[in-house]
Structure formats: C-alpha cells, structure tokens
Chain A
Amino acid sequence: MDLNDRKLKQKLKSEIGSIKFSSYQKNQLAEALIAGQKKENLPKRAFHLLSEFWHGTTEIPLYLGAIGLLVLILGVRNTVDIFLIDSESAAFLLQQTVEIIERSGLW
C-alpha cells in the first residue's frame, strides 16, 4: 500500500467516523430484529410464501401480477376457442377430406 492509499484510508475513516447509530438506535434495531426473527419462525401460510418469493424477484405487486396473469389466460383461452370444434364436426370434416382424396384418385 502506498502513501496515497494510506492517506486516503485515514482521511476517509476520519470523515465517516461520525456516521453511526446511537446506542438508543442500536437497542431499537436489536429489538426490531429479535421481533422480526420471531415472526420469521412462525409457520407461514401459502400466500405469504408466494408473496415472499414474488417480491424477492420482482417489484410488481402480487395482486397486479395475478390479475395480469388471469387476463392473459382468459385472452389465450378465447383465442384458442376459435380453433376448437366438437367431435361430430371433426368426424364430418375428416370424412369429407377422405372422400375428396379418394375422388381425386390420389390415394
């Protein structure tokens, strides 16, 4: 470590020395942590676990995310419905297709 590094370290430490928690704040902090620790140890509900996971990975509120997902699912479902037909229609279309192919002499 050169002289400049040492000077810089000394100066930085003296400058930032006044930034610290008071004893009162430390006690408050310890109390809050102990309370938080006890809360953490309680058995969790599924929603709480889901919420914890969700907010650990994204800033989007869980409710908003759930609504968005629902809208997306409904949208996809409605789109897919257009292509869905019942079994009778499917059998009819299949029969017609086979007849057309037979008549054309390709098969």
Chain B
Amino acid sequence: MSLTAGGSISNLHLDSQAKLIEGLKNGDENAVKQLVFLYSDRLLQVATLILKDQYLAEDVVQESLLVAINKIHQLRGDDLSPWLYRILVNRCRKEQRKKPWSVVEYLPKNELELVPATGVDVERDVLEKDTDREVMYAIAQLPARYREVVTLYYLEEFSLETIAKVTQEPLGTIKSRLHRARKRLQKILIEGGFFDGFE
C-alpha cells in the first residue's frame, strides 16, 4: 500500500480482510490506515444512529478502533467486520450507561419548527427542521436496544444471525426486537407524516 504526500491511501494492495488482519497483527501502520479508511465512516454512521450524537460517536469510533487494533490477536477467523461492530456496540452501550436519560420524546413534524436551533448532535440537528432526515429522526425515538438492531439491519444490512453475533443476544430476541422496532418506526413515520410508503 502506498500513501500520497497528504497521507491518503492512493493504492490498496491489501485487498482482502485476511491480509488486513495479518497486517494489523504484525503492527503494520499501513494496515491501520487501511482499517480507518475502510471502516471509520460506516462505524461512525452506526454509532451516530445508536448514540444520537455525532461528536460522541466520533470519540466512540476512535476508541473502538484502538481496542480492535490492540486486541486483534483475539480475533478468531477472518471475519473482521462483525467483530469490529461488536466492539463498537459494546462501547456505545458503555456510553449510554453514562447518560441513560438521553432519550427524547417524539414530536410530530409540525412541531419541529418550534424547537430552538441549538443543535450540535444528530438528535437536535434532526429536530432543527432538518426534514431530510425523517428516518434518522424516527430511529432516534426508539429505545436504545431497538436502535441497535434497526441500525445494523437497515443501514449495514446484516443478517439476523450476524446481528445476534454482534449484539451478543439470542436470535429470537433479535427477531422480536426487529419486529417491535419496525412497528414503532412505522407508527412514528406515519403519525409524523414523514413517510406514507407503509401499507
């Protein structure tokens, strides 16, 4: 892998996860850079949806990647992705335990304009009549455990089995959570007049 003067990756020779893992295990700096360029955005998006706070999510992604790099020897097999998300979800849960009161009440779309525009996090950003983010706003209304499942299912398109592995929950629990989360999402989106595509 070669790097440009600015430090961005111009050519990725580590073309498989196995090579990436091997590089990380050997302490290869280019492998670390590749990991960041391949996964950081996706991890950030997942953490932002779960935590409802982009700035906090950025910190959590950094911590998660550091944990992953330092514990790469504990990874069994070549399936890096679920393992990374598992670390991320655990870090998100840890952050949520610190401020369990962060859940907000749902506001219908016509009340969004009444909310003062002070937003720095996604939740507030969405509340600031950012009407292009209806689904994100609806997900923000869900309980934390539902947000995890919905995010991994709709954004990362993980199978239910993979979500069970990532969240360390039984498959049946994941199925029921997804079912309930869907129903709630549907209700929020329809009531808010955001999304009329549901039957």
A residues less than 8 Å from B186 (CB atoms): 4
Task: Compute the total of residue contacts between A and B using a CB distance below 8 Å.
Answer: 91
Known contacts being A8-B185, A9-B157, A59-B98, is A30 close to B134, with CB within 8 Å? no
How many chain-A residues does the 8 Å CB contact rule pick out?
28
B11 to chain A minimum Cβ distance, whole angstroms, is 15
**Is A101 at the interface (CB under 8 A from chain B)?**
no
Stretch at the interface among A35-43, A65-73, A80-88: A35-43
Interface size class of B (residues with CB under 8 A): 35 or more
A13 to chain B minimum Cβ distance, whole angstroms, is 7
Which of A4, A15, A20, A59 contacts B132, CB < 8 Å? A15
**Is A5 at the interface (CB under 8 A from chain B)?**
yes
B residues less than 8 Å from A30 (CB atoms): 7, 32-33, 36-37
A45 to chain B minimum Cβ distance, whole angstroms, is 17
When the two chains form their complex, are residues B157 and A37 in contact, meaning their CB atoms are under 8 A apart? no
Question: Which residues of A25-69 are within 8 A (CB) of B?
Answer: 25-27, 29-30, 32-34, 36-37, 40-41, 59
Return the CB mask of B186-199 against A: 1 if under 8 Å, else 0.
Answer: 10000000010111
Q: Which 10 A-B pairs have the closest CB atoms?
A: A20-B41, A27-B7, A30-B33, A30-B36, A12-B135, A15-B133, A40-B70, A36-B66, A7-B197, A11-B135
Which residues in A have some Cβ–Cβ distance to B below 8 Å? 3-5, 7-9, 11-13, 15-16, 19-21, 23, 25-27, 29-30, 32-34, 36-37, 40-41, 59
Task: Using A11-B135, A20-B44, A36-B70 as known contacts, list a sample of 17 further A-B pairs with CB atoms less than 8 Å apart, ordered by residue number in A.
Answer: A7-B197, A8-B135, A11-B134, A12-B135, A15-B133, A15-B135, A16-B45, A20-B41, A26-B8, A27-B33, A29-B40, A29-B65, A30-B32, A30-B33, A37-B27, A40-B66, A41-B27
